[in-house]
Amino acid sequence: MKGLDPQSVDVVVTSPPYNIGKSYSAYEDDKTPAEYLEWCQEWAGGVHRVLKPDGSFFLNLGNSSANPFFAFEVATALKQIFELQNTIHWIKSISIETETGIESCGHFKPINSQRFLNDCHEYVFHFTPDGSTPLDRLAIGVPYTDKTNIKRWAHTGGRDKRCRGNTWFVPYKTIHQRAKQRPHPATFPTELAVKCIRLHGKQNAVVLDPFLGIGHSAFAAKECADTVSTFIGFDIDQEYIRVASEILGCEWKSL
């Protein structure tokens, strides 16, 4: 990021390592808590430098039963740098009671425990420079269930679409062969990044992911080609970059 111009990026969508001992091939995921938070402040300071005054920084983080305050500790550490404008709940799996029974949707990693519940969600913290960044809420809006609300409420403008809110159900695709389908120990779905980019709502947007992994944020930027002009991604693992570039059909370079 040090090679990028100040205030040159519109949207940052990323998910750093969670410091829980994941088996990355080029990164040791085992810092002390103090070291990890200091490191987060360091790279987040770099994000702040390159982000435009009306930019959006979407940070995906999840807790674990061993460290239930993790996501909040990171968010609090970044309070010195950014304003927290929205907190989005990424729902990976949910069970809903209907008239015909209970319907379960999505996937989760089961926890074998007498104390902890299965963890079926993560956070997406929406940080901005000063908390006043405008969003295109209806870009990821949903239709009204009760269509009479369209005419009843003036703010609809006659459109059958309302704000989705801060709870997003985005399931993972089922993985049958991890080595071939997801050669990375911790990824987020492309759709999650697509929603973040769409929500920011800027035309000709420059999108950045400083923890690119195998490129799901890049795939999202490609899906949003009608609004995204440039995507920039970094990763210290050249194999991840190679995989992402191969899927995207683009060239990459080692820095």
The predicted pLDDT at position 157 comes to 78
Residue-range domain boundaries for the chain: 9-248
Q: Which of 103, 85, 79, 83 is nearest to 93 (CA)?
A: 103
pLDDT in tens, 86-142: 999 999 999 999 889 999 999 888 888 999 999 999 999 999 999 999 999 999 999
The predicted pLDDT at position 202 comes to 94
Q: Which of 189, 194, 199, 213 is nearest to 106 (CA)?
A: 189
Ranking 70-79, 95-104, 240-249 by mean pLDDT, the lowest is 240-249
Q: Give CA–CA dist 240/37, Å, rounded.
A: 25
The predicted pLDDT at position 177 comes to 37
Position 247 pLDDT exceeds 70: yes
Position 145 pLDDT exceeds 80: yes
What is the separation, in whole angstroms, between the first and last Cα of the chain? Answer: 11
Q: Give CA–CA dist 121/94, Å, rounded.
A: 9
Phi, psi dihedral angles at 148 (to 5 degrees)? -65, -20
The predicted pLDDT at position 22 comes to 60
pLDDT in tens, 33-47: 899 999 999 999 999
Q: Which of 104, 116, 121 is nearest to 192 (CA)?
A: 121
Mean pLDDT over each residue of the chain, to the nearest integer: 88
The predicted pLDDT at position 25 comes to 59
Tokens found for residue 38: 């200091």
Q: Are 62 and 123 in contact (CB under 8 A)?
A: yes
What is the pTM assigned to this prediction?
0.89
Q: What percent of the chain has pLDDT over 70?
A: 89
The predicted pLDDT at position 179 comes to 43
pLDDT in tens, 168-208: 999 987 543 344 445 544 578 999 999 999 999 999 999 99
Which H or E run contains 123? Answer: strand 121-128
Q: Give CA–CA dist 16/43, Å, rounded.
A: 10
The CATH code for residues 9-248 is 3.40.50.150
Position 18 pLDDT exceeds 90: no
